Amino acid sequence: MERNKSESKSGELSITKMTEISDPETRLKMLSEKASKVEIKHNIPPKRYYRSGLQLIRQADVYTKEGNYEEAYQLFVRFITLFVEKMSKHQLYHKVTAKEKESTKQILREVLPKAEELKKQLLKQYQDEERSRREEEQRLKEEEERKNKLAAMEAVRAKFADTDFLETKDDIKLPVKRFTPTPKPPKSLSIDSKPQSLKDNNIPRVDRSTKPTILSNDSSQLRDIILPNKLIQNFLSLAFNNTTNNKETCGILTGKLERNKLLITHLLIPQQTGSPDSCLTLNEEDIFDFQDNHNLITLGWIHTHPTQTAFLSSVDLHTHCSYQLMMAEAIAIVCAPKYDETAFFILTPEYGLDYIANCRQTGFHPHPTEPSLYTKAKHCKLDPTAPVEVVDLRRK
């Protein structure tokens, strides 16, 4: 769900702290606290949150099947927090239908035991990791002691090796000390230096970079979105008539989660109305039904600028804000056929997302240009071999 600027910063601190904390109970508590930091925006309709809730569950189920328990647990906790604690405080909650409320209650009945089971598994995982860490530290300590003993023995041998013997008339060998400097053993093996403490040693910790990362709005933590190359050309072909008539066309990017990557698998073209500088989606229920029937999650949107370059207008910024609040990685693709230009954007997580979410103006209106409100979506990766299915939901 939404992660504002302050949450992003606190989230980054939590990640750092969690990698340093060894106590399993404390690690689990910090994970739960971070996942429960959910806030709602009253200018975002409740329907958006209910749709986002379904996407949280779909992603959590995928993570569970893949054994990515940290990510799955966080998404379940986020869902529980949103619909048990937060949604009832939304200013438009009274407009939520009884059907939506009952459906969510049913999902909660299924999610609560799943989250509890994941919590038990994570605690065991953390306990196993802590035990392995302690065993590794003990092994390294014993290895260091062994090296120190060998260094001491080597130093003694070196002293005797530097001594010559002279023969006398009575065949008695007298030791004569060479006047050559005795080479000192390397610092790390010197018997004169105190053995390094366990704290001073560069002991490798458990590599948490290979563990599931915590979802955050920090661009460095965004999961990759894989975009099929052919999607752009397919979309431009469908939009050709509108482009010729100077009308914008839009489409919805949907797909699935797989191994912590978001794959765009379907391009949905909804019923819509277009003008030279705007496009309005109609009959959203058609989109929702298709996604629900195919277990798809929303990953962003795409639209044309028939006569302009590729950029995000003030209206585009507000449109995309609702996508990115629901899915941090959601992208906005702008195609400018006249200039043979296509660009992939996101609102800047550290400033733009929060700014637009709190902007109450509608229609075309000015926004400050500094700091930048949006930027290129660097987490979007093109795949020339990935398939895509185009579904045109427009009425014939």
Record the pTM: 0.75
Coarse DSSP helix, strand, coil percentages of the chain, rounded to the nearest 5 percent = 50, 20, 35
| Alpha carbon distance 183, 233 (integer Å) | 72
| Alpha carbon distance 199, 202 (integer Å) | 8
Cα–Cα separations (whole angstroms), residue 281 to 53, 277, 290, 323? 21, 14, 15, 14
- The SS3 of residue 305 is coil
> Which residues, 6 or more positions from 392, have their beta carbon under 8 angstroms from its beta carbon?
238, 269
| Alpha carbon distance 98, 129 (integer Å) | 45
pLDDT of residue 220: 52
The candidate with the shortest Cα–Cα distance to 37, out of 64, 15, 65, is 15
Neighbouring C-beta atoms of residue 125, cutoff 10 Å: 17
Phi, psi of 132 (to 5 degrees): -65, -40
> Which residues, 6 or more positions from 386, have their beta carbon under 8 angstroms from its beta carbon?
226, 227, 228, 229, 263, 264
pLDDT of residue 275: 94
Neighbouring C-beta atoms of residue 249, cutoff 10 Å: 22
The candidate with the shortest Cα–Cα distance to 249, out of 267, 261, 264, is 267
CB 1, CB 324: distance < 8 Å: no
pLDDT of residue 288: 95
> Which residues, 6 or more positions from 280, have their beta carbon under 8 angstroms from its beta carbon?
272, 273, 274
CB 254, CB 291: distance < 8 Å: yes
State whether the Cα torsion 254-255-260-261 is positive or negative. negative
| Alpha carbon distance 268, 302 (integer Å) | 10
Kindly tell me the burial class for residue 76, based on how many C-beta atoms sit within 10 Å of its own C-beta (0-12, 13-18, 19 or more).
Answer: buried
CB 74, CB 215: distance < 8 Å: yes
| Alpha carbon distance 54, 58 (integer Å) | 6
pLDDT of residue 97: 94
Quote the radius of gyration of the chain (alpha carbons, Å). Answer: 31
> Which residues, 6 or more positions from 116, have their beta carbon under 8 angstroms from its beta carbon?
none
pLDDT of residue 229: 95
Cα–Cα separations (whole angstroms), residue 396 to 131, 153, 234? 64, 90, 19
CB 263, CB 226: distance < 8 Å: yes
| Alpha carbon distance 88, 206 (integer Å) | 41
What token pair was written down for 30? 């910090």
Low-confidence ranges of the chain (pLDDT < 50): 1-16, 165-166, 168-169, 171-172, 174, 177, 179-180, 183-219
pLDDT of residue 371: 93
